[in-house]
Structure 1
Amino acid sequence: MPDHNGSTHFPAEERPTTFDWRELPANEPAPPAQLTRHRLATMPAAEREAHDAARRAHHKQLVLSAPVVRHAVTRGRGMLAANRRLRPSERPFLEITGPAGTGKTVASLELERAVWRADLARNPVRGPDNRITVLSIAVPPAADLYAVVRTLAYATFPPEFVRDDEPLEVLAGPPLHVLNQAGVSMVVIDQAEHLAPSAAAAHAALHWLVDRLPTATFVYVTRAPAEQTASGPATTSSGRRLPSRVAAVPLTYGPDWQQLLATADSQLRLLDHTPGTLASLDRQLHQATGGLVGVLGPALRAAAADAVGTTEHVGWEALEHALLDS
């Protein structure tokens, strides 16, 4: 692969940010208790403020139980287990594909979370600081191989240790060494549609990366399937790789949409919220969001978090306001 010619600056605001899964508790924390107004009022002030803060944090992290989330977690974990028994050249990759707002990124994050916690449960003795179970990077627009490797370097090392003027092999060496030493099991490439669609170059870039991380199962999050863009490697230098696809689509009005709202309603921790409120707004919410969980989710999280200590309920007015602000 050709080296990068010349030096380009990677501005701080464009550097990728990744979630450090090592900070995640080994077990899913229990949601805050559902208290009555009387119980909350009788708490000491500090305890009451801590409970309100926990409720806001809980609401800000609500994940809508959309089919794409469940399917991605199930398929991804199953593929990871199966790939451990396959040679690197035989391992398929997972592709989460669909239009904007359909929940692709949320699905990939929940898959990452599930893989990390499963690894932590399976290897409790291994120190969390020594493991990189999952790595996720977002591809910058019109990316070539150098841009992808540079993103990988910034996701693996502090910025001061990364130089943007190094030849490709020099830039790639440290992050690939660290990831291989850590036995990274999953690499998630978000916004894979940004890969330069001069297909040969983009596929070659991904083949190059996949072949150098033989322990990893790759997940591509993209707006279009691999056969329509250069987002996924159909083959590598060592063999054939085929995709396992999870399609994210807007939800039609029906059982899946209603179940999603019922589940979300049950997760709210508000003093005056009437159970079933979201279900009673199912048609209005579907019309307002077009069935896009990527539109509903942020609005619901914002409305629920804002309701803590104020209205203590979420209704149409709050959701409509949050939708307009999103």
Structure 2
Amino acid sequence: MGADQEPGEDSVERGGGPDAGEQAPVSILRGDDLGQLVEAGLGMVEVIGRTKPDPVPGADVVVVAEQLDDRAAGVSGGAETMMPRRAEIWLRQNRLPVVYVTVPTAATPKILAIEFARFYGIEFGSRATMPDIVNTVCAVAARTHLELVLIDEIHNIIGSRAGAEVSDQLKYFAERLQATFAYAGIEVEEQGLFAGPRGRQIAGRFTLISSAPFDYGTPEQRDAWRALVATLEQALRLHDHRPGTLVEHADYLYQRTGGMIGSLSQLVRGAAVLAIDDETERITPELLELIPLDHAATRTAPARGRGAKGKATR
């Protein structure tokens, strides 16, 4: 039991990394470790890397989600959770190469600039001017070796009152920052992101990459899905979970989620939490059946037949 640990409080050693050998409450470690589930390597990210390998102005991409749950290259909520963890590592190296910003609804150019500043932990008073905010953000970005700017919810600028001005502000940031810009949004082409003079500018500067749920028809597609499941499974911190169990149920997991990454993450994390709560420390088909999923997954998931391989039974 650690020096600051309450009597009767469980603890666990965390293997690997700078904290190896230290003791910490199980509940704290489990919450931290389950957050790693969003850090799975994704084929869409590899596509972006192959499309625009050099972080230079103008080498930009727009990731378009066909499904709400596959926003931001298929990572539902992934960037928000992943970035603080990565930032801590990068800051130790005096670098922060990635900025993640969400475009708020009814955003204005100043609100957008403040969002950039907020990511860096910079606060401004109400009297701060746009040049003050923008110049500070650009100076910090240069000092921390910025390479990639992720702009999520880009569809929020479409049709908004200040959407054109926000688009111009993003373009100005792109000209000032020596970084690749990646926009992520939902059905942006259909909603008119590339329409009009400013839209044609965006179309001329960005490569469009559509994101969709995983397919499962060919052996290659099934292998890709199983690789994703295996990556999520490796992040589990359950004492009695047998590695490879989730991969064995890859068919069932696809049937439940319709190939949507966010839904898969929700399903696995939910089952892991139940496994901790009931002290079984392993994910079983019965636990997976107890986890309700989002409407998009239940709407798009293929019908589950009685004889489907990997089907959970109650």
Whether these two folds match at TM > 0.5 is yes
Give the one of 170, 177, 192 matched to 1:206: 170
Q: Which residue of 2 aligns with 1:95?
A: 62
| Distance 1:193-1:273 versus aligned 2 partners, 3 A rule | same
What code does the residue aligned with 2:201 have? Answer: T
1:149-174 deviations in whole A, cap 9, x for unaligned? Answer: 1212222344xx31345443333232
| Distance 1:142-1:196 versus aligned 2 partners, 3 A rule | farther
What code does the residue aligned with 2:156 have? Answer: H
What code does the residue aligned with 1:313 have? Answer: R
Q: Which residue of 1 aligns with 2:211?
A: 248
Matched, 1:72 2:40: no
Give 1:141 shift.
0.7
Q: Which residue of 1 aligns with 2:187?
A: 224
Give the one of 92, 108, 124 matched to 1:162: 124
What code does the residue aligned with 2:147 have? Answer: S
CA RMSD of the aligned region, Å? 4.0
Matched, 1:321 2:293: no
| Distance 1:129-1:319 versus aligned 2 partners, 3 A rule | same
Whole-Å separation in 1 of the counterparts to 2:127 and 2:187 = 32
| Distance 1:78-1:95 versus aligned 2 partners, 3 A rule | same
- TM-score norm. by structure 2 comes to 0.65
Matched, 1:186 2:154: no
Give 1:297 shift.
0.3
Give 1:229 shift.
3.6
- 8 Å CA contact retained: 1:193, 1:223: yes
- 8 Å CA contact retained: 2:158, 2:191: no
Whole-Å separation in 1 of the counterparts to 2:174 and 2:99 = 13
1:259-298 deviations in whole A, cap 9, x for unaligned? Answer: 4334434554434334443244334433332221111202
Matched, 1:176 2:149: no
Whole-Å separation in 2 of the counterparts to 1:321 and 1:261 = 19
Which segments of 5 or more consecutive residues in structure 2 lack a partner in the other structure? 1-15, 296-314
Whole-Å separation in 1 of the counterparts to 2:27 and 2:105 = 40
Give the one of 113, 131, 154 matched to 2:95: 131
Identity %: 26
What code does the residue aligned with 2:290 have? Answer: H
- 8 Å CA contact retained: 1:268, 1:304: yes
- 8 Å CA contact retained: 1:295, 1:323: no
What code does the residue aligned with 1:297 have? Answer: S
Whole-Å separation in 1 of the counterparts to 2:265 and 2:287 = 13
Moved more, 182-191 or 305-314: 305-314
Give 1:221 shift.
1.5
Whole-Å separation in 2 of the counterparts to 1:183 and 1:149 = 19
Whole-Å separation in 2 of the counterparts to 1:276 and 1:97 = 32
**SS of match in other structure, 2:62:** strand
| Distance 1:128-1:203 versus aligned 2 partners, 3 A rule | same
Give 1:139 shift.
0.8
Whole-Å separation in 2 of the counterparts to 1:266 and 1:178 = 36
**SS of match in other structure, 2:54:** helix
Matched, 1:147 2:119: no
| Distance 1:60-1:174 versus aligned 2 partners, 3 A rule | closer
- TM-score norm. by structure 1 comes to 0.63
Give 1:196 shift.
4.1
Give 1:218 shift.
0.8
